[in-house]
Amino acid sequence: VLLIAAAISLAIYNRLQEEHAAEAAERVLSLLHQEIEANPNANEPDSNPPETDTEPPSEKIDSDKMTVIEIDGYGYIGYLSLPALGLELPVLSEWDYTRLKTAPCLYYGSVKTDNMVIAAHNYTRHFGKLSQLKPGDTIRFTDMDGTVYTYQVGDLEILPPTATEEMITSDWELSLYTCTYGGGSRVTVRCERTDGKR
């Protein structure tokens, strides 16, 4: 009886965490949309700011860095759209276990260097249905500057949780991953960029 009560309590706790994460992600996503729409250069990736000085900048500009917008003390780099799953999710600029409870997180790389890896919990309204994606499905990432990057699912892999090198050193331009429900493996979706903006 005690074990049954503990199992029920754990199931209720997990369900409440999942609902909280879904609500938080939905609220943040709305704010991200507002931020991107307010950006005067949104959807104009080739626009150049007006020149105000003829001298070259004294510091090297890191073109690999993505714009980060802070909301509720956390940095966000944009949002993912997974039409085949009916999902649109904000993406945090860095990962840790606390952040994963809110939204998917940048685990490694950058959209600008075509090696981005995004991790999320297996909550139903996060990456819980990731394994349902099929080769050819479209995924989009919209950064905080309003630039939309389009990808196509190329492969689905099941990796052991210790396969961190394989996760970050692949030749795929975008990788999405989450734990299986038992936690013993990682469902990994590998994607290639199809929008031609390289």
Place of tokens 């609500």: 23
Entry pTM: 0.79
The model's pLDDT over 132-168, given as tens digits with 9 standing for 90+, comes to 999 999 999 999 999 999 999 999 999 998 898 998 9
DSSP secondary structure of 80-149: EEEGGGTEEEEEESS--HHHHTTS-EEEE--GGGT-EEEE----TTTTTTGGG--TT-EEEEEETTS-EE
- Looking at CATH, the fold of the domain delimited by 2-41+68-193 is given as Sortase; Chain: A; (2.40.260)
Both tokens assigned to 178: 């989450």
Q: What are phi and psi of 187, to 5 degrees?
A: -80, 125
Domain extents in the chain: 2-41+68-193
Mean pLDDT over the full length of the chain:
83
The model's pLDDT over 14-62, given as tens digits with 9 standing for 90+, comes to 777 777 767 777 887 888 888 888 876 555 443 333 333 333 333 333 4
User: Strands 116-119 and 69-71: what pairing?
Assistant: unpaired
